[in-house]
Structure 1
């Protein structure tokens, strides 16, 4: 089982869209995939039509004592091979609980350890804040994927996220590979092109040499949650996500090969 955290400390960069697109792409390749919504805003959960009230069973139950089993919280999406675990607004209260309830920082790692081999991939859709939920996801992840807008202000958020990844890597004492996925790219603008080049200059091979273009179809989650087996990736944005997935998988294979050779 491979665990990917899709995270950025800056909001509005396409984390949920990236989680949906990559998860659907993996499922289309025949993998068993679980998407876990860690954001109290629950955008991924709403994309699958889960209403906020009554509050659904979901991620919060993994932090209970005793914790629920991850597989027991999984919901079918209608897409073969793809399930998800819902977020609840009450996740925002976990920061206060962590002060008096020890062990919450490893709740997701422990849930995955009890999960067995029921999934090939687990993808965490992280909140846009560095707190208990993001730290949990990074502590458990085998790979960090950072979607980031191709605009100048996004470079600061990317730098902060990379520093956080390095900090978590030192703390957990095992590698945390990072892949930077440029998103919302408008090749018609000078600012977008300059930002993409600067991102690639600063972060080198961590950055995809392509980018997810601005595409209004990505605003419509129906393209990502539809159960129709045809139309795999309609539109240039979703086609770009397919290429991005191939790059991420190739990156993973290279990392695993180096680890085995060491």
Structure 2
């Protein structure tokens, strides 16, 4: 299993859309994909028609036993999505209480890594949607993944959020055996606005080694896909957004030495 996390310490940058779009394209290519929703807001969970306020069981269950994950528990929590080759480990609003519970509890930072270890042979890829703040949930996402994707909205304030995210990553890397590779992905790009153009130039100057050279454009078809509860490629495989995400997927796979997914 290859594990990717999608994270940024600023909300509204396209994390959930990016996670689902990449997962959908991988599933279209025949891969078995696990989506992990670690955001207490549950946007990914809601995307596929599940109510994070009403779910009896969710990712929260994984954190209940002092960092230990009972055998078989992760598999029992899985929910269906719009794609037969994609499953969802759902979020719930109860995850928001973890920050208050985590002080003094050791081992909580590795809960998701332990959970994915139980599902390692069942899926080819796992994609984790992380909350937009540094805490036990983001630490879990970063500890579990082999590749980090950082979506950055092409507007001025988003660059500040990226700076915080890179600082967090540097801190995490000090506790890892190997530095976590990451790709910065410009999102919500609108070439008609100076803000988008200037921000893209800023990103290219400041992060030349880690920036994906292209961008995800503003595309209403992505929003329409979320309303329909389908992956973007299921909803409109020829939309501008899907074409861009397909190029991003190719880039991410090439970084890991994979030339194709089919």
State the TM-score, normalized to the length of structure 2: 0.91
Pairing 1:142-221 to 2, within 5 Å after superposition: 142-221=146-225
Partner Cα distance (1:167, 1:144) in 2: 14
2:51 is the counterpart of 1:47? no
Match in the other structure for 2:61: 61
Q: Secondary structure at the match of 1:212?
A: coil
Partner Cα distance (1:18, 1:87) in 2: 17
On the 8 A contact 1:21/1:224 being kept in 2, the answer is no
Partner Cα distance (1:230, 1:203) in 2: 33
On the 8 A contact 1:187/1:193 being kept in 2, the answer is yes
Structure 1: stretches of 5+ with no match in the other structure: 255-262
* Number of aligned residues: 254
- Residues 115/183 of structure 1: CA separation in 2 closer, same or farther (3 Å cut): same
Structure 2: stretches of 5+ with no match in the other structure: none
State the TM-score, normalized to the length of structure 1: 0.91
Match in the other structure for 1:104: 108
- Residues 191/229 of structure 1: CA separation in 2 closer, same or farther (3 Å cut): closer
- Residues 188/146 of structure 1: CA separation in 2 closer, same or farther (3 Å cut): same
Partner Cα distance (2:226, 2:118) in 1: 33
2:141 is the counterpart of 1:137? yes
Match in the other structure for 1:253: 257
Task: Report which stretch shifted further, 182-191 or 215-224.
Answer: 215-224
Q: Deviations over 1:72-101 (max 9, x none)?
A: 211121412111111000001111111243
Partner Cα distance (1:190, 1:54) in 2: 43
Cα RMSD after superposing both structures:
2.0
2:92 is the counterpart of 1:84? no
Task: Report which stretch shifted further, 220-229 or 90-99.
Answer: 220-229
- Residues 90/173 of structure 1: CA separation in 2 closer, same or farther (3 Å cut): same
Q: Deviations over 1:223-243 (max 9, x none)?
A: 784389866524211221111
- Residues 138/228 of structure 1: CA separation in 2 closer, same or farther (3 Å cut): closer
Match in the other structure for 2:237: 233
2:125 is the counterpart of 1:121? yes
2:8 is the counterpart of 1:22? no
Partner Cα distance (1:224, 1:21) in 2: 14
